[in-house]
Structure 1
Amino acid sequence: MSITSAAPAARHSKATAIFVCILAALAGLMFGLDIGVIANAQQFIQKDFGIGDDTLGWIVSMMMLGAAFGALVAGWLSSHLGRKRTMILGAALFVGGSVLCGMAPTPEVLIVGRLVLGIAIGLASFTAPLYLAEVAPESIRGAMISIYQLMITIGILVAALSDAALSYTQSWRWMLGIIAIPGALFLLGVAFLPESPRWLLMKNRGPEAEQVLQRLLGDRDAIAREVGEIREQLKTPQNGLQMFLQNSNFRRSVGLGVLLQVMQQLTGMNVVMYYAPRIFQGMGYATESQMWFTVIVDLVNVLATFIAIGLVDRLGRKPILYIGFVVMAIGLGVVGSMMHLGIHTHGQQIFTVGMLLVFIVGFAMSAGPLIWTLCSEIQPLKGRDFGIGCSTFTNWAANWLVGISFLPLLNGIGQAETFWLYGAFNVVFIALTIWLVPETKGVTLEQIERKLMAGQPLRRIGQ
């Protein structure tokens, strides 16, 4: 191939890789849609069914419990069925769960529908970042995985806009059911994705893997290097649970992935996402204002995610995490202080909302997308399904704990103290990032694995 023909081919392959990654990242849209709809629909559900905060907490949090189960089985499914088929299964369950929620005649049926939705999202939240890490070229890997988080934020925003429009008629069934439509479109789109070349090589389907890499990389030398590196890793006889039990270095990467997901959940972001209207109610806003301020929160969440996408492969993972945790700690600390002092004037309301938005920016530019990026990068190939499965399960288990405990915390220790608690967590996470988190910018997955298995400290397995 001549130099003049190689350049257009490389550009075409990069464009193809970006398109494939964006389509796969739409799995995040399903997650975002469900967060958005339940945040705004819950007060109408509570009124219609005449239920208390305890039952409402189960309706909200049952999705996270289902997602934890989905993430638990996603590793086995993605290993045996493939990444693509697992995403298809998740999309189908999402459509079915959405319809069931919209038609639920009782709170119990609604809880079951939320459980089905959770299983779907658990499958997608495990498989999509894994797929993206295995398909995206290393030069754009961080940005492409960050797009998954961007799709979550877009889904939240779209759901908030839809709910705000439907809130005037209090049509919570339409709020919950209408998200089956984008779920069906994702189901159709994912059918056209190629399978992960890494998974194909793990299944001894080399010619198919090379065909996929031809589409994604274009350059023959790059394809040969990629295939060679993956085949070299596949010679290692360990995998999954056996590898976890036998290899202490792998246990370190699994432990770091679990810790990172706990950190993400304890930032307090999902508290704001799930219960934004309740938080704005505590600031003194009426129902309509709660809805539209929630839209503003979700819009800021979307826009701030572009900061991570633009900087993650240039500035690096750790500097962005440092900035994010500092900003989140300050934002929540000020919000808690305002609630402690009392919010009595319109100016105080606007200032408190502004500081909440500062917190949103801190999360969306850092821990939101970058935790998923890091968790997909630090696991060795033979144990990647198991490692990401453990971290994703932890994400949803911690997510469920946060969701089920927030209302009791508000009613128990108070609003101000609850926000101070989450602000303090973010201060602790700065220290944990310094001590344990590696910088993986511009480093191949194979290089990260070699350093991990050589026993280097976790913070040094990247650059």
Structure 2
Amino acid sequence: MNAVAAPVATHPKATAIFTCVLAALAGLMFGLDIGVISGATQFIQQAFKISDHMIEWIVSGMMFGAAVGAVLAGWMSAALGRKRSLILGAVLFVVGSLLCGFAWSPYTLIAARVVLGLAIGISTFTAPLYLAEVAPEYIRGAMVSLYQLMITIGILVAFLSDTAFSYSGDWRWMLGIIAIPGALFLFGVFFLPDSPRWLLMRQRDDEALQVLQRLRGNPEEVQREANDIREQLRTPQRGWHLFLENSNFRRSVGLGVLLQLMQQFTGMNVVMYYAPRIFQDMGYDTKSQMWFTAIVGLTNVLATFIAIGLIDRWGRKPILYTGFAVMTVGLGIVGSMMHIGINTHGQQLFTVAMLLTFIVGFAMSAGPLIWTLCAEVQPLKGRDFGIGCSTFTNWIANMIVGATFLSLLNGIGHTATFWLYAAFNLVFIGFTFWLVPETKGATLEQIERNLMAGKRLRDIGS
């Protein structure tokens, strides 16, 4: 598995784009895994005759595996390399998908979902890292955004696939068919080059220069970038020691953790995992539930373009204010409609519209921006540690959300559950005002200097 150039593109710019697009397909696998369980749960519940609580464990098993995978991914990407880590993630994805399709008991299905989670945890850490290291500077932002877009596309494709199989109710095909795109991704990853940065980390300078030459083309640019990487590598990662020694770094790690908690407790993944159940509670039949779930996925994809277009115009905080406000209103009205009673077709459509409004609020704000901020606020020496902590938090919070939603519905009722998540979003507006910095136009070096100088978190982007 030595460094290999992509065989279908010979021009350096085309080679770089081809390489980045292929790596970004890891996001598609992530999205497929998130979306595919949503349409299958009601059929799994009927087949195995299991409780809502067991469904919660089947759903959240993936997030547990992802948390473990994210912890292991940092070591793996350094020891094995970015490419080999992506290969391992793709293998686990195919194996987990097939195990889901052939699961003979609820416990087997939980185990299979944990395997899928390991794959996703590895890939979600490694793919953005690989993209940032191989993408030329002029398309780096676009390629990282493409990864986020691929996640939403994967969710949409999974929802559409579930809708198609819902007519037969065959949940095994719903869960197992994503092994096919997983296998295609696995095949494609073998043609990716190793990361030049990782090769230089391993003192394989000649191979690193060869990869950079294929991706950049200009010998002067290749030498300049190689020198820049060598200079950066002279700053060793010492995150754990920095965390123990430096209170300012602990503040940035804490902010990253808080940001991920905010993202997960918006309630977005509640909708992603349980959309058909929510539409069922609005009075829709099975076919309508599945088609409305697909519309949720499409809305998520389209609204992501709003964030891509506005993030460097409006800035981070105005977009977060707007998103959290929209989500508060959307979920608040959904809860109110549940309280009043959804008795007519017009009331049904209005409630669906408010749920879709909530989706737009998330996809244009907290969805992509939280990940951007988590990377921006961490100082260079502790960036891997800080991002690792926030990523782990994301998956644990995701698991908590997935494992409690049906219990909340059954315990405190539909109205109180949606009002609870609306209240979370309202509180997050305050958190954004008091704690989140505006990083638009600020360099990472400026943010780090302000952080280490002890400035308030909300001012470190000034």
Q: Please confirm whether the aligned pair reaches a TM-score higher than 0.5, indicating the same fold.
A: yes
Identify which range, 150-159 or 139-148, moves more after superposition. 139-148
What secondary structure does 2:331 align onto?
helix
Q: Give me the whole-angstrom Cα distance separating, in 1, the residues matched to 2:217 and 2:437.
A: 30
Alignment match, 2:28: 29
Q: Give me the whole-angstrom Cα distance separating, in 1, the residues matched to 2:13 and 2:325.
A: 35
Q: Give me the whole-angstrom Cα distance separating, in 1, the residues matched to 2:193 and 2:383.
A: 19
Distance change >3 Å, CA 170–CA 237, structure 1 → 2: closer
1:321-340 equivalence runs, <5 A: 321-340=320-339
Identify which range, 414-423 or 196-205, moves more after superposition. 196-205
Q: Does 1:265 align with 2:264?
A: yes
Q: Give me the whole-angstrom Cα distance separating, in 1, the residues matched to 2:225 and 2:340.
A: 59
Q: Give me the whole-angstrom Cα distance separating, in 2, the residues matched to 1:460 and 1:16.
A: 40
Query: What is the TM-score with the length of structure 1 in the denominator?
Result: 0.90
Task: Please report the RMSD computed on the Cα atoms of aligned residues, expressed in angstroms.
Answer: 2.4
**What does the per-residue CA deviation read over 1:75-110, in whole Å, with 9 as the maximum and x for residues that have no partner?**
111121222221111111000000011001111111
Distance change >3 Å, CA 439–CA 192, structure 1 → 2: farther
Tell me if structure 2 keeps the 8 A contact 1:142–1:313.
no
1:122-271 equivalence runs, <5 A: 122-137=121-136, 140-217=139-216, 226-271=225-270
1:64-463 equivalence runs, <5 A: 64-137=63-136, 140-217=139-216, 226-441=225-440, 443=442, 445=444, 448-462=447-461
Q: Give me the whole-angstrom Cα distance separating, in 2, the residues matched to 1:447 and 1:229.
A: 19
Q: Measure how far apart 1:175 and its partner are.
A: 0.6
Distance change >3 Å, CA 225–CA 397, structure 1 → 2: same
Q: Give me the whole-angstrom Cα distance separating, in 2, the residues matched to 1:370 and 1:23.
A: 23
For structure 1, the residue ranges without an aligned partner over 5 or more in a row are: 1-11
Q: Report how many aligned residue pairs link the two structures.
A: 452
**What does the per-residue CA deviation read over 1:399-434, in whole Å, with 9 as the maximum and x for residues that have no partner?**
000000101111111111111111121122222223
Identify which range, 426-435 or 98-107, moves more after superposition. 426-435
Distance change >3 Å, CA 297–CA 134, structure 1 → 2: same
For structure 2, the residue ranges without an aligned partner over 5 or more in a row are: 1-10
What secondary structure does 2:194 align onto?
coil
Q: Give me the whole-angstrom Cα distance separating, in 2, the residues matched to 1:220 and 1:462.
A: 36
**What does the per-residue CA deviation read over 1:11-59, in whole Å, with 9 as the maximum and x for residues that have no partner?**
x655544443332221121121122211000100000011111111111
Q: Measure how far apart 1:206 and its partner are.
A: 4.0
Distance change >3 Å, CA 131–CA 383, structure 1 → 2: farther
Q: Measure how far apart 1:311 and its partner are.
A: 2.7
Alignment match, 1:3: none
Distance change >3 Å, CA 65–CA 385, structure 1 → 2: same
Q: Measure how far apart 1:159 and its partner are.
A: 1.1
Letter in 1 for 2:302: L
Letter in 2 for 1:386: F
Identify which range, 218-227 or 15-24, moves more after superposition. 218-227
Alignment match, 2:7: none
Distance change >3 Å, CA 113–CA 74, structure 1 → 2: same
Letter in 2 for 1:414: G
Q: Give me the whole-angstrom Cα distance separating, in 2, the residues matched to 1:207 and 1:364.
A: 42
Q: Measure how far apart 1:67 and its partner are.
A: 0.8
Letter in 1 for 2:56: G
Q: Give me the whole-angstrom Cα distance separating, in 2, the residues matched to 1:443 and 1:322.
A: 20
What secondary structure does 1:26 align onto?
helix
Distance change >3 Å, CA 199–CA 438, structure 1 → 2: farther
Distance change >3 Å, CA 188–CA 384, structure 1 → 2: farther
Alignment match, 2:6: none
Letter in 2 for 1:28: G
Q: Give me the whole-angstrom Cα distance separating, in 2, the residues matched to 1:460 and 1:228.
A: 33
Letter in 2 for 1:235: R
Q: Give me the whole-angstrom Cα distance separating, in 1, the residues matched to 2:202 and 2:243.
A: 21
**What does the per-residue CA deviation read over 1:383-413, in whole Å, with 9 as the maximum and x for residues that have no partner?**
3332222111111100000000101111111
Distance change >3 Å, CA 275–CA 439, structure 1 → 2: same
Identify which range, 275-284 or 203-212, moves more after superposition. 203-212
Distance change >3 Å, CA 131–CA 314, structure 1 → 2: farther
Letter in 2 for 1:360: I
What secondary structure does 1:148 align onto?
helix
Distance change >3 Å, CA 419–CA 221, structure 1 → 2: farther
Distance change >3 Å, CA 18–CA 446, structure 1 → 2: farther
Distance change >3 Å, CA 168–CA 381, structure 1 → 2: same
Q: Give me the whole-angstrom Cα distance separating, in 1, the residues matched to 2:198 and 2:451.
A: 21
Q: Measure how far apart 1:308 and its partner are.
A: 1.8
Letter in 2 for 1:347: G
**What does the per-residue CA deviation read over 1:211-232, in whole Å, with 9 as the maximum and x for residues that have no partner?**
4444555556655554454444
Q: Give me the whole-angstrom Cα distance separating, in 2, the residues matched to 1:170 and 1:196.
A: 43
Tell me if structure 2 keeps the 8 A contact 1:28–1:149.
yes
Identify which range, 264-273 or 158-167, moves more after superposition. 158-167
Tell me if structure 2 keeps the 8 A contact 1:146–1:373.
no
Q: Measure how far apart 1:64 and its partner are.
A: 0.7
Tell me if structure 2 keeps the 8 A contact 1:325–1:429.
yes
Letter in 2 for 1:426: N
What secondary structure does 1:236 align onto?
coil
Q: Give me the whole-angstrom Cα distance separating, in 1, the residues matched to 2:315 and 2:33.
A: 30
Q: Give me the whole-angstrom Cα distance separating, in 2, the residues matched to 1:209 and 1:438.
A: 36
Q: Measure how far apart 1:129 and its partner are.
A: 2.4
Tell me if structure 1 keeps the 8 A contact 2:237–2:384.
no
Q: Give me the whole-angstrom Cα distance separating, in 2, the residues matched to 1:319 and 1:340.
A: 32
Letter in 1 for 2:296: V
Tell me if structure 2 keeps the 8 A contact 1:142–1:309.
no
